[in-house]
């Protein structure tokens, strides 16, 4: 069951299969049913993994043929590989159908946990696989398994063992007198519980995928076997951009214009070795600035070489030179309103660098402020905590510059007094009967509200309203909250010629974080004359 090309896992499973065969020969008891279930699961997992590897081999064959120009000889190999995959998948699918039939008809199907309901059933397994007159499924399967081995011989000279042997040809069963006269079906499925029968079939599927893989490997070795001859050699250096910014990475590839999988060149750049991968040299270093011209560019030259072995064994070296330019870094600050910033508020900035383009991935720090990320590259929110802010702008770990901003305090709001739903007029007054309630509204500065609406939320936290008649106070003052309110008993005592005295005791502002702070407004007083 094992061969020189098998992996250690395949060899292990092969040994497990030999143990399985020996157990079947000894007619194992139901105590080992769980072991057979675990063995079957392992075999199915290995078969699935082998299938994926084989599909990858087929894709590699197709890719190699396409790269070689789809030559007729190579396309014939592709066709053979596809045929191997097709006949293999067809046989594996047929065995899957038999396994499903055993689970359904012999095992009674699966329970809610996905386990076989009657795993110890043996008689129904024998009826399905052997039959009353040796007309069971296993006899037809034996012919298909052995025919599969014969079909593989069309694609390779490698000799594969039979997949369906009678007991006399089996290295284990042939040693047991009570087993050696049994045929393939009787040997593997007589007096065999459902999990053991499934494991036997899964082992055949794994052997099929293993053989398929060996054949595909042989076919893959035949693709692109023609010698590649170089008639003109050019050393090339491909860079992502000839203009780079100081402090950023320079990336590119060094390669031969005519290359082959059989050629492994050695490359160097500026006196140092270059890592070679798939025939291409991968370079990466930090661009050094300085000595910029009037356009902000500094010319640099890369010097290197590529060495390769010619078909006659001679080592040849091709020199190269490649110029590039280092650009002086710059950036632009975009904002709805230019500085100064507002203290304790969300000042949104967009800082971009057209020169860096896709390489622009900035970091920001500040003295005298918190810096909040805006979720997009270059977009930030600055929250000043002092009168001056120094914003440090870096990219790729390199400091590009420091921008300084002046910080203004938030402008105070305007207070508007409303009585009975109308705005008061301190000169003309209002009818006494019309003034039943009072409220004071704090209106944010228009330019500040447009700049940072989330920070321009003002309210009057408390007001005191008194009724005055001449030089004396009538009744007790009324204290109202942020929404104002009814004047109550004061309104009942008010007469023409009296006046209401409204004193604003506090004003508050809520910022973009939802934090409340007091606004220094003093204690402004407003009079409402009553007519």
Six-digit token pair at 185? 């079906």
Are residues 301 and 363 located together in one domain of the fold? no
Q: What's the token pair of residue 453? A: 């609406």
- Co-location of 93 and 167 in the same domain: yes
Name the phi and psi angles at 315, rounded to 5.
-90, 120
Q: Is residue 227 part of a domain?
A: no
Residues 212/88, Cβ–Cβ less than 8 Å = yes
Q: Which residues of 272-301 are buried (b: 16+ CB within 10 A; e: fewer)?
A: eebebeeebbebeeebebeeeeeeeebebe
189 & 269 share domain = no
User: What pLDDT is recorded for position 336?
Assistant: 44
Domain presence at residue 374: yes
Residue 493 near residue 462, CB atoms below 8 Å = no
DSSP assigned state of 20? H
Residue 62 has a pLDDT of: 92
CA distances from residue 429 to 9, 425, 426, 442, 497 in whole angstroms, order as listed: 99, 6, 6, 21, 10
| Same domain assignment for residues 367 and 496 | no
Domain boundary among 356, 391, 408: 408
Distance CA 144, CA 387 (A): 88
* In contact, 486 and 462? CB cutoff 8 Å: no
Domain encompassing residue 353? 332-408
Phi and psi at 152, nearest 5°, equal -65, -25
* Same-domain status, 154 and 240: no
> Residues 247, 215: one domain?
no
Kindly state whether residues 110 and 94 are assigned to the same domain. Answer: yes
Contact 247, 289 (CB under 8 A): yes
pLDDT < 70 regions, the chain: 1-31, 224-232, 234, 239-247, 255, 257-263, 294-295, 310-313, 329-339
Domain with residue 282: its CATH number is 2.60.40.10
Look at residue 241 in the predicted model and tell me its pLDDT. 62
The alpha carbon of residue 250 and the mean position of all alpha carbons in its chain are separated, in whole angstroms, by 26
Residue 421, Ramachandran bin (φ over 0: left; ψ between -120 and 50: alpha; else beta): left
Domain boundary among 361, 384, 408: 408
CA-based nearest residue to 409, from 352, 474, 340, 470: 340
H/E stretch holding 99 reads: helix 72-101
In a domain, 88, yes or no: yes
Domain co-membership, 348 together with 487: no
Q: How many residues does the chain have?
A: 531
Number of domains within the chain: 4
**Nearest by Cα to 292 from 354, 243, 360, 240:** 243
- Tell whether 513 is covered by a domain: yes
CATH number of domain containing 340: 2.60.40.60
Q: Which secondary-structure segment (H or E) carries 217?
A: helix 194-222
Q: What does the alpha-carbon distance between residue 103 and residue 83 come to, in Å, rounded to a whole number? A: 30
The sheet with strand 369-373 has its strands ordered as: 332-334, 347-352, 379-384, 369-373
CA distance 318 to 356: 33
What would the DSSP string read from start to end of 318-353? EEEEEEEEEEPP--EEE-SSPSPEETTS-EEEEEE-
Q: Is residue 91 part of a domain?
A: yes
Q: Quick check: 432 and 498 in contact, CB under 8 A? A: yes
- Whether 391 and 493 map to the same domain: the answer is no
Domain assignment present for residue 340? The answer is yes
In a domain, 3, yes or no: no
For residues 44 and 166, membership in a common domain is answered with: yes
Residue of 272, 223, 283 whose CA lies nearest to 250: 283
- Decide if 347 contacts 382 (C-beta within 8 A): yes
Whether residue 150 sits in one domain with residue 97? yes
Q: What is the mean pLDDT of the chain?
A: 84
Rounded CA-CA distance 418/463 in Å is: 12
DSSP string spanning 386-406?
SSEEEEEEEETTEEEEEEEEE
Of 348, 347, 349, 351, whose CA–CA distance to 378 is shortest? 351
List, in sequence order, every residue forming a beta bridge with 348; answer none if it has no partner: 381
Asked if 259 contacts 232 with a C-beta cutoff of 8 angstroms, the reply is no
Strands 516-519 and 485-486: unpaired
- Rounded to whole angstroms, the Cα distance separating 487 from 465 reads 8
Q: Domain boundary residue among 277, 297, 327?
A: 327
445 shares a domain with 362 = no
Residue 199 is assigned to a structural domain of this protein: yes
């Amino acid at each position: 069951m094992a061969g020189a090309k098998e992996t250690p896992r395949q060899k292990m499973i092969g040994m497990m299969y030999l143990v399985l065969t020996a157990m079947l020969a000894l007619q194992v008891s139901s105590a080992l049913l769980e072991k057979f279930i675990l063995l079957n699961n392992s075999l199915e997992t290995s078969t699935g993994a082998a299938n994926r590897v084989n599909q990858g081999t087929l894709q590699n064959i197709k890719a190699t043929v396409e790269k070689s120009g789809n030559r007729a000889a190579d396309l014939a190999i592709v066709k053979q590989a596809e045929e191997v995959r097709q006949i293999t998948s067809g046989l594996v699918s047929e065995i899957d159908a038999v396994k499903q039939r055993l689970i359904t008809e012999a095992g009674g199907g699966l329970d809610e946990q996905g386990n076989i309901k009657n795993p110890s059933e043996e008689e129904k397994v024998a009826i399905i696989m052997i039959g009353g007159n040796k007309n069971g499924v296993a006899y037809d399967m034996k012919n298909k398994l052995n025919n599969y081995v014969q079909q593989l011989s069309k694609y390779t000279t490698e000799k594969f063992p039979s997949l369906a042997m009678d007991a006399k040809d089996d290295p284990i069963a042939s040693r047991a007198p009570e087993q050696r006269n049994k045929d393939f079906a009787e040997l593997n499925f007589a007096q065999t519980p459902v999990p053991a029968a499934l494991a036997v079939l899964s082992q055949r599927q794994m052997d099929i995928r293993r053989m398929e893989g060996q054949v595909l490997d042989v076919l893959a070795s035949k693709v692109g076997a023609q010698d590649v001859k170089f008639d003109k050699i050019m050393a090339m250096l491909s860079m992502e951009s000839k203009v780079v910014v100081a402090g950023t990475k320079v990336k590119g590839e060094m390669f031969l214009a005519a290359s082959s999988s059989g050629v492994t060149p050695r490359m160097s750049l500026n006196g140092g070795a270059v890592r070679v991968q798939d025939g291409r040299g991968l370079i990466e270093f930090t661009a050094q600035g300085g000595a910029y011209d009037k356009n902000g560019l500094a010319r640099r030259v890369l010097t290197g070489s590529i060495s390769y072995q010619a078909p006659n064994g001679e080592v040849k070296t091709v020199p190269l030179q490649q110029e590039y330019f280092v650009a002086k870094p710059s950036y632009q600050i975009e904002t709805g309103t230019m500085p100064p910033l507002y203290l304790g508020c969300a000042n949104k900035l967009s800082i971009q660098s057209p020169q860096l383009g896709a390489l622009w991935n900035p970091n920001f720090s500040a003295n005298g402020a918190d810096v909040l990320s805006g979720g997009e590259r270059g977009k930030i929110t600055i929250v000043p905590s002092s009168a001056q802010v120094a914003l440090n702008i870096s990219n790729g770990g390199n400091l590009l510059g420091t921008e300084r901003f002046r910080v203004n305090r938030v402008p105070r709001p305007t207070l508007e007094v409303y009585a009975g739903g109308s705005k008061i007029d301190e000169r003309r007054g209002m009818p006494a009967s019309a003034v039943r309630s009072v409220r004071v509204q704090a209106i944010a500065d228009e330019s500040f509200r447009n700049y940072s609406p989330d920070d321009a939320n003002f309210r009057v936290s408390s007001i005191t309203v008194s009724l005055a008649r001449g030089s004396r106070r009538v009744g007790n003052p009324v204290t109202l909250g942020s929404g104002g309110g009814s004047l109550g008993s004061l309104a009942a005592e008010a007469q023409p010629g009296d006046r209401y005295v409204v004193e604003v005791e506090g004003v508050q502002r809520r910022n973009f974080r939802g934090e409340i702070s007091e606004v220094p407004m003093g204690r402004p007083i407003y009079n409402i004359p009553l007519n």
